[in-house]
């Protein structure tokens, strides 16, 4: 917690409030991480019960988002935070919104998992699994970076989204080729394609969270900036 300068407040209660809300974000992230893991396993194994578990757990994530949001509003109204404290609250509000949307994408994959795939189509799910594991790794790393407000770890996750995009594009081309070869497979392939799209969006959300961490640490909004500008902000490199 040293990096967050939590000990600098006169009010010990303020410290406790910030710590509690931050821990809730990590708990929410853990639930989302489990959702993705279960959704991927469900689609690989055709496990309908596990898919139903993912679908039924979504309300827990939604509830946490509302609770954390309310706590943040309370902190702003009561404590009137400034500087890094305000940036932390803003980063939290933005992070939970992205986590909730990642959960929604996991829910979409779980719905596809309830469909049946033949032996030939199972091979396509292998590529989907590879992309899914990469996204799961990105989420774990960005949550760890959030826990420590680790600037360099956040930047590393941000860079990994490019690899996720390449995997998604390769999988999309593979799926298109499969559809052209067997038109009867189009409905099933579209299910896989939409699942891949959900995973790609999760990667974008992880990248967003990395940007919020950079915003908190550096006090600079790095959304929509060039890669060179991002590198200068994070690593302090000059042209």
pTM comes to 0.91
Domain tally for the chain? 1
| Stronger pLDDT, 83 or 4, i.e. the higher one | 83
212 part of a folded domain: yes
* Residue 239, pLDDT above cutoff 70: no
149 part of a folded domain: yes
Lowest-pLDDT choice from 27-41, 143-157, 192-206, 218-232: 218-232
188 Cβ neighbours under 8 A, 6+ residues apart: 115, 117, 118, 121
* Residue 6, pLDDT above cutoff 60: no
Phi-psi map region of 83: left, alpha, beta (phi>0 left; psi -120 to 50 alpha)? left
Residue 164 near residue 229, CB atoms below 8 Å? no
2 part of a folded domain: no
236 part of a folded domain: no
**How many whole angstroms separate alpha carbon 204 and alpha carbon 18?**
27
239 part of a folded domain: no
141 part of a folded domain: yes
What's the rounded mean pLDDT across residues 85-114?
95
In the block, tokens 């809300």 appear at: 21
| Stronger pLDDT, 4 or 42, i.e. the higher one | 42
Confidence band, pLDDT 50/70/90 cuts, at residue 178: confident
Q: Which domain covers residue 214, as residue numbers? A: 7-231
**How many whole angstroms separate alpha carbon 70 and alpha carbon 107?**
24
What CATH number has the domain bearing residue 126? 1.20.58.220
């Amino acid at each position: 917690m040293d990096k967050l300068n939590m000990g600098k407040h006169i009010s010990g209660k303020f410290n406790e409030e910030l710590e509690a809300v931050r821990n809730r974000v990590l708990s929410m992230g853990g639930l989302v991480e489990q959702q993705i893991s279960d959704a991927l396993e469900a689609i690989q194994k055709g496990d309908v019960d596990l898919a139903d578990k993912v679908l039924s757990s979504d309300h827990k994530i939604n509830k946490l988002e509302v609770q954390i949001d309310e706590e943040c509003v309370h902190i702003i109204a009561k404590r009137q935070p400034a500087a890094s404290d305000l940036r932390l609250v803003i980063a939290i509000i933005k992070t939970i919104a992205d986590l909730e949307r990642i959960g929604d994408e996991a829910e979409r994959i779980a719905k596809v998992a309830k469909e049946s795939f033949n032996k030939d189509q199972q091979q396509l799910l292998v590529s989907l699994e590879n992309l899914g594991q990469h996204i799961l790794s990105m989420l774990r790393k960005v949550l760890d970076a959030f826990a420590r407000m680790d600037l360099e770890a956040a930047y590393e996750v941000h860079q990994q989204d490019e690899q996720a995009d390449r995997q998604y594009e390769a999988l999309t081309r593979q799926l298109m080729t499969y559809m052209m070869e067997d038109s009867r497979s189009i409905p099933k392939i579209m299910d896989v394609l939409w699942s891949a799209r959900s995973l790609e969006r999760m990667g974008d959300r992880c990248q967003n969270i990395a940007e919020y961490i950079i915003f908190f640490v550096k006090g600079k909004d790095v959304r929509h900036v060039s890669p060179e500008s991002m590198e200068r902000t994070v690593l302090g490199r000059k042209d």
